[in-house]
Amino acid sequence: MTTLSFTPNLRRHVQVPDARVAGDTVAKALAVYFQDNPAVRGYVLDDQGAVRHHVVIFLNGTPVRDRAGLSDPVGDDDEIFVFQALSGG
């Protein structure tokens, strides 16, 4: 199973417990996570299911290639990390 974790600054807005999830793509792994944590989906994905502009999803330390369909393949020992960018000035 894939390890899924989130940046601490996202935890200010919604509960995002780390989890081990099944799925052979990033999209499927996130879908499994969102079944148990539906409030997180809106912070990570837009209405079309693509990664929001202020969010970056890393797979094993590298940003995912497919931000629209999240089709990047995932293996059992992989790690997905969801990072919410901060802005301001």
What's the rounded mean pLDDT across residues 60-64?
97
Residues in the chain: 89
Share of the chain above pLDDT 90, in %: 87
86, pLDDT greater than 90 = no
Q: What pLDDT is recorded for position 57?
A: 97
**What CATH architecture does domain 2-84 belong to?**
Roll (3.10)
What is the C-alpha separation between 55 and 36, in angstroms, rounded?
20
Q: How far is CA 85 from CA 33, 56, 64, 74, 75, in A?
A: 21, 7, 15, 23, 26
Q: What pLDDT is recorded for position 84?
A: 86
What is the C-alpha separation between 40 and 6, in angstroms, rounded?
10
Q: What is the pTM of this model?
A: 0.92
40, pLDDT greater than 70 = yes
